Amino acid sequence: MKKTVLTGDRPTGRLHLGHYVGSIQNRIKLQDEADAAFYMIADVQALTDNAENPEKVRENVLEVALDNLACGLDPKKTTFFIQSQVPQIAELTVFFLNLVTVARLEQNPTVKAEMAQKGFVMSDSENTEIRKSLQYVVANEKIRNVPAGFLAYPISQSADILFCKGNIVPVGEDQKPVIEQCNEIVDTFNRLYGETFERVKHLVGDTPRLVGTDGNAKMSKSLGNCIYLSDSKDTIAQKVQSMYTDPNHIRVEDPGQVEGNVVFTYLDVFDTDKDGVAELKKQYQAGGLGDVVLKRRLTEVLEGMIAPIRARREELAKNPEAIMKILEAGTEQARRVGEQTMNEVRKALHIQYF
Ligand code: ATP
Ligand code: MG
């Protein structure tokens, strides 16, 4: 079986530690093992919830490319491309839209969570307000302001994966339901039109979901709780300084709580000296270890990891034209691959007329 890796980021901001442990580490590993690897900058998907802000999306195309290159994704092994510039993806999306019901999209846990996070579900009182201002509303129907494109993003994401016959997708845990949805599309398509696509495997990283610096369940660009792969040492120190530890650990000699303590959560993920961390936990629980010492250690660990990425990034950022050339060449390659797939798809759909 041919192994084709497809992965990507939304150009909505610079990339952070959550991306690194959730997906980027696997991307780098897989580019050596796979038969083909694609890295997509998902600007079309970013626009589904940033329609009023195209400039932000555009600016961040270069930023996410820089982050991935700085981490070690190699354009000689991985085809870098921009989603909007591959029309075959949009074409495939149109046909996939017919294979999924609106009800199924609304039940998708990723879509549900992100709709809430991005404010597309209104509280009951907001609902009532809007109801009053509208003449025609279906009784008991919740009024939401989710753009159709956003609701349907699992469908376009399936086209992102399948246009190049991707079958391995390194993603964070939050994306699992979207991959399930993709496999439903594969099954339906094959059943209706004949065997065309293979089922897709998602590959979650060692840390499937990194918590935010504020203790929120997910570090996310849109939540402002991130440590970025490009942060300076001072910024890292400041963000670590603001992290929650144990609110009852007031004096150094007080015994402290390790569970739910964000600083320990991060040390567990990023500190390679596991015995050292176990020793710190023991001291902290017994009392006698201050937050200052703990946070200084985490700052050192994160700086040690981020410093080389930051340095490579600064070097690469001096020549944006070279990055755009990489994206342009990769996009041309992605179009060629997409056209091959679309020829098969058009045949399967009986829409080859001329
Ligand atoms: P946005 O808020 O705009 O959706 P994001 O921070 O969620 O941004 P994405 O570009 O949507 O970032 O995600 C890119 C990839 O990184 C996806 O595979 C996603 O699952 C993964 N990822 C994002 N945040 C985390 C996290 N905190 N832990 C693990 N993986 C993550
Ligand atoms: Mg996201």
Taking only the tens place, the pLDDT of each residue in 142-167 is 557 888 999 999 999 999 999 999 99
Which residue type, as a one-letter code, is found at position 92? L
Which residue CA neighbors atom 8 of ligand 1 most closely? 221
Question: Taking 90 as the threshold, does the pLDDT of residue 38 lie above it?
Answer: yes
Coil/strand/helix, residue 37: strand
Expressed in angstroms and rounded, the spacing between residue 19 Cα and the centre of ligand 1 is: 6
Predicted local confidence at residue 247, as pLDDT: 85
Predicted local confidence at residue 224, as pLDDT: 86
Entry field: residues in the chain: 354
Expressed in angstroms and rounded, the spacing between residue 283 Cα and the centre of ligand 2 is: 37
175 lines ligand 1 (CB under 6 A): yes
Predicted local confidence at residue 121, as pLDDT: 72
User: How many degrees, rounded to 5, is the angle at CA 339 between CA 200 and CA 204?
Assistant: 20
- Please state the separation of Cα 13 from the chain's center in Å: 11
Going by the DSSP 8-state scheme, the letter that residue 296 receives in this structure is H
Q: Name the strand (E) or helix (H) holding 7.
A: strand 4-9
Expressed in angstroms and rounded, the spacing between residue 172 Cα and the centre of ligand 1 is: 6
Expressed in angstroms and rounded, the spacing between residue 87 Cα and the centre of ligand 2 is: 23
- Please state the separation of Cα 109 from the chain's center in Å: 15
Contact assessment for residue 154 and residue 181, using Cβ atoms and an 8 Å cutoff: yes
Going by the DSSP 8-state scheme, the letter that residue 23 receives in this structure is I
The domains found in the chain, sorted by start residue, are 4-100+152-211+320-348 (3.40.50.620), 233-314 (1.10.240.10)
What would the pLDDT profile of 237-272 be if each residue is shown by its tens digit?
999 999 988 888 888 888 999 999 999 999 999 999
Q: Which atom of ligand 1 is nearest to the CA of 170?
A: 18
Q: At 284, is the pLDDT very low, low, confident or very high (cuts 50, 70, 90)?
A: very high
Q: Which residues of 237-264 are buried (b: 16+ CB within 10 A; e: fewer)?
A: bebbeebebbeebeeeeeebebeebbbb
Expressed in angstroms and rounded, the spacing between residue 295 Cα and the centre of ligand 1 is: 25
Query: Residue 13: which of 67, 88, 52, 51 has the closest Cα?
Result: 67
- C-alpha to C-alpha distance for 122 and 119, rounded to whole angstroms: 7
- C-alpha to C-alpha distance for 343 and 332, rounded to whole angstroms: 17
**How many Cβ atoms are within 10 Å of 126's Cβ, its own excluded?**
13
310 lines ligand 1 (CB under 6 A): no
Expressed in angstroms and rounded, the spacing between residue 123 Cα and the centre of ligand 1 is: 25
Question: Taking 80 as the threshold, does the pLDDT of residue 222 lie above it?
Answer: no
14 lines ligand 1 (CB under 6 A): no
170 lines ligand 1 (CB under 6 A): no
Contact assessment for residue 71 and residue 229, using Cβ atoms and an 8 Å cutoff: yes
Predicted local confidence at residue 266, as pLDDT: 97
Least confident residue range of 108-112, 127-131, 186-190, 307-311: 127-131
* 267 strand-pairing partners: none
Q: At 136, is the pLDDT very low, low, confident or very high (cuts 50, 70, 90)?
A: low
Which residue CA neighbors atom 7 of ligand 1 most closely? 220
Contact assessment for residue 245 and residue 284, using Cβ atoms and an 8 Å cutoff: no
313 lines ligand 1 (CB under 6 A): no
Average pLDDT for 18-41: 96
Q: Which atom of ligand 1 is nearest to the CA of 220?
A: 6
